[in-house]
Amino acid sequence: MEKLETMADRYRRQIDLKEIGLKGQKRIEEANVLVVGLGGLGSPVAYYLAAAGVGHITLMDNDTIAPNNLNRQILYNVDKVDSDKAEAAIERLTAFNPDIEIEVDRRMITKENSIDITNGYDLVMSCVDTLEARRFINYGCVNNNTPMIDGAIQLFSGYVFPIVPYKTACYNCALGDLLDQPVPKPVLGSTVGTIGTIMVTEAIKEICSIESDLTGKILICDFKSMDFQKINVDRIKNCSVCGIDS
């Protein structure tokens, strides 16, 4: 009973939503979510998953903190430059919400290990900065039938793309033919916060089975013009990852 009272106190504004309530908050508490990438998108994603009370979060990154990360990677302070991102993230998030479990996975995702890495989660948050890594995450999630939410940012824009295997288009259906850009992508730091929090909003809706109008769509956000568009994306029959006939 003591834990329930603590939960009710901390998450009262969230629990008061009729779409969530105590039942939904319990589902959030029991959820097991993987966050791949602890950079610009991974920072707000991890923060707001912890804020929502997601009970089990695995952070996947093997990088260290660089000075030029600090304008957009809000998990880290100046005194953590050159430190391990995952360890710094655990320290910050545990101080923020000590009632959740946080683990670290330092593997680099590949096609060969993607099924193993994404196995056993209720949801995967794709916060990586290369198209290749997104393809690997998508491959693992489709094979495990695990929902994922992909996000990306560049310049003044970004997108959010929720993927439910065999129900919506997968990443390969929608964007699989794009080529990686070999140079660092310029970005306005604040855009990652907006895209990241939208990703977490979709994550909570997925965990609590709240219907989303973004299902089967990509949300394109242009923060320079402040234009937001939802683009329908259909599954591809001959998709090599989730093909309807595969």
Digit-coded pLDDT (tens) for 23-53 = 999 999 999 999 999 888 999 999 999 999 9
Asked if 6 contacts 99 with a C-beta cutoff of 8 angstroms, the reply is yes
Q: Is residue 44 part of a domain?
A: yes
Asked if 61 contacts 73 with a C-beta cutoff of 8 angstroms, the reply is no
Looking at the chain, the number of H-run helices and the number of E-run strands are 9, 8
What is the total residue count of the chain?
246
Q: Is residue 2 part of a domain?
A: no
Q: Is residue 126 part of a domain?
A: yes
Q: Is residue 215 part of a domain?
A: yes
Distance between CA atoms of residues 109 and 182, nearest Å: 18
**pLDDT for position 7:** 65
Q: What is the pTM of this model?
A: 0.91
- Residue reference for tokens 């099924």: 115
Q: Is residue 138 part of a domain?
A: yes
Pairwise pLDDT comparison (221 vs 238), residue with the higher score: 221
Secondary structure of residue 44 in the 3-state scheme: helix
Domain that holds residue 148: 31-232
Helix, strand and coil content of the chain, in percent to the nearest 5, comes to 40, 20, 40
pLDDT mean over 191-211: 95
Element (H, E) at 21: helix 21-30
Proportion of the chain above pLDDT 90, given as a percent: 64
According to DSSP, residue 158 is labeled E
Q: Is residue 6 part of a domain?
A: no
What Å distances lie between residue 123 and 72, 92, 114, 150, 199, CA to CA? Answer: 24, 22, 14, 11, 12
How many other CB atoms sit within 10 Å of the CB of residue 229? 11
For Cα atoms 118, 168, 126, give the angle at the middle one, nearest 5 degrees.
35
Domains in the chain: how many in total? 1
The overall average pLDDT reported for the chain is 89
Q: Is residue 238 part of a domain?
A: no
Pairwise pLDDT comparison (188 vs 205), residue with the higher score: 205
| Sheet architecture: strand order including 101-105 | 101-105, 56-60, 32-36, 123-126, 148-154, 157-163, 217-222, 227-232
Digit-coded pLDDT (tens) for 149-182 = 999 998 899 999 999 999 999 999 987 766 555 5
Residue 57, domain CATH = 3.40.50.720
Find the range with the poorest average confidence among 110-124, 181-195, 215-229: 181-195
Q: Is residue 64 part of a domain?
A: yes
Statement: residue 1 has pLDDT above 80 = no
